[in-house]
Amino acid sequence: MTGIKKPQQTGLPFAGKVVLVTGAASGIGRAIALAFGHAGACVVVADTSVDGGHATAAMIVEAGGKALFVQSNVARPADVEALIDKTVSYYGRLDCAVNNAGVEEAHQPLAEGDDAQFDRIMGVNVKGVWLCMKHQIRQMLKQGWGAIVNMSSVSGLVGSPMHAVCTASKHAVMGLTKAAAAEYANSAIRVNALCPAGVKTPMLARAFEHEGQVEAALKAYPIGRFAEPAEIANAALWLCSEQASYVTGHQLVIDGGFTAI
């Protein structure tokens, strides 16, 4: 731990802390990155989208924060290793990481799926989270602290018909989260997961592109609406904060009551 300093405490809850957010070019990832930036963190924005990633970083800087964009495909081991190396070489450490990058599945029966789609979904949603955690934890062990939040889904808790592979991938994320939390709890590294249901993002818009689908889907939500990306971001900040210092291995469900009925 020589030469690695803990962040200084100031008025903002994440002032001076270094936070990495993957899949931060749009949607939930962008909202999380912006929220950490507003809370004083030095944010590393990671995504395959160059334009979207630079735009997110620019938004943070324009609001008075600090941000660095790194183009990265989390399914590629070399990209992930380079991402963590760049983070540490630029900011000196890695305090928190939100592994949000993920891809969706076409709406189709399991029996009609194909190998290429399976490999693509598992490569990003599962292998990507595993690769990110592997390199993030190695750095956090050197520091002696850290917090990780993995993006699962309500599909990581229940079955989602017509989305079997994504359902399997999000269940796998929960398994990785719980195993890592148990392994590294004594090393002051906390690992938790977020399980949102429908969130107003471009991905959701693609899922409900046909007329009437949104109204039909909302019948399953007691709260009567989909979540705003900022509501998911607030939960990510809490899990990474000192207020959640005794929380690890947890699956925080943010679903407007979807799984309550």
pLDDT by residue (tens digit) across 90-141? 999 999 999 999 998 888 999 999 999 999 999 999 999 999 999 999 999 9
Given CA atoms 181, 86, 243, 257 in this order, what sign does their dihedral have? negative
Task: Give the neighbor-by-neighbor strand order of the sheet with 146-151.
Answer: 66-71, 42-47, 18-22, 96-99, 146-151, 189-196, 251-254
Quick: pLDDT tens for 213-236. Answer: 888 889 999 999 999 999 999 999
**Topology given in CATH for the domain delimited by 18-253:** Rossmann fold (3.40.50)
Asked whether residue 184 carries a pLDDT value surpassing 90, the answer given is: yes
Report the largest interatomic distance among the alpha carbons of the chain, rounded to a whole angstrom: 59
Asked whether residue 205 carries a pLDDT value surpassing 70, the answer given is: yes
Picking from 90, 93, 81, 102, the residue whose alpha carbon sits closest to that of residue 5 is: 93
The pLDDT assigned to 1 comes to 40
Residue percentage of the chain with pLDDT more than 90: 87
Give the confidence band of 210 by pLDDT, cuts at 50, 70, 90: low
What is the C-alpha to C-alpha distance for residues 243 and 232, in angstroms, rounded to an integer?
Answer: 17
What mean pLDDT is predicted for residues 254-258?
96
What is the pTM (predicted TM-score) of this model?
0.94
What is the C-alpha to C-alpha distance for residues 62 and 180, in angstroms, rounded to an integer?
Answer: 36
Asked whether residue 2 carries a pLDDT value surpassing 50, the answer given is: no
Answer whether 60's CB lies under 8 Å from 44's CB: no
